[in-house]
Amino acid sequence: MGLIQREVERQGIPTVSISIVRRFTEETKAPRAVFLRWPMGHPLGEPFRKDQQMVVLKRALRALETVKEPGTIIDLPYRWRRYGDLLIE
């Protein structure tokens, strides 16, 4: 995603990615990103949890305003709890 982001940004459009694989985000040098330790396929959150998904989306969009240094990755503090008390990190 970082490769596409850099090209879009070159055209003057700010971008932000939501990452669940930090290594890939670092390697592709995304201009700005938020990172979550969540399972593959769930970058915005648990299925049917619109409230949770909106929080993640709003935090990602806030990064468009707050991130000043290219390549910044913001670690979001949210935890995955879909399976009862079992914490998936």
The pLDDT value given to residue 16: 96
Domain span at 13: 2-79
Is 34 domain-assigned? yes
Q: For 1-23, what is each residue's pLDDT tens digit?
A: 778 998 999 999 999 999 999 99
Q: For 19-64, what is each residue's pLDDT tens digit?
A: 999 999 999 999 999 999 999 999 998 888 899 999 999 999 999 9
- Give the DSSP per-residue string, 11-50: TT----EEES-HHHHHHHT-SEEEE----TT-SS-STT-H
Q: Whole-model pTM? A: 0.82
Residue 88 has pLDDT above 50, yes or no: no
Is 9 domain-assigned? yes
Is 84 domain-assigned? no
Is 70 domain-assigned? yes
Domains contained in the chain, number:
1
Which residue shows structure tokens 């670690």?
75
Is 45 domain-assigned? yes
Question: How far apart, in whole angstroms, are the C-alpha atoms of residue 21 and residue 2?
Answer: 12
Is 29 domain-assigned? yes
Is 88 domain-assigned? no
Q: What order of strands is seen across the sheet that includes strand 32-35?
A: 17-19, 32-35, 72-75
Question: How far apart, in whole angstroms, are the C-alpha atoms of residue 46 and residue 44?
Answer: 7
Residue 87 has pLDDT above 60, yes or no: no
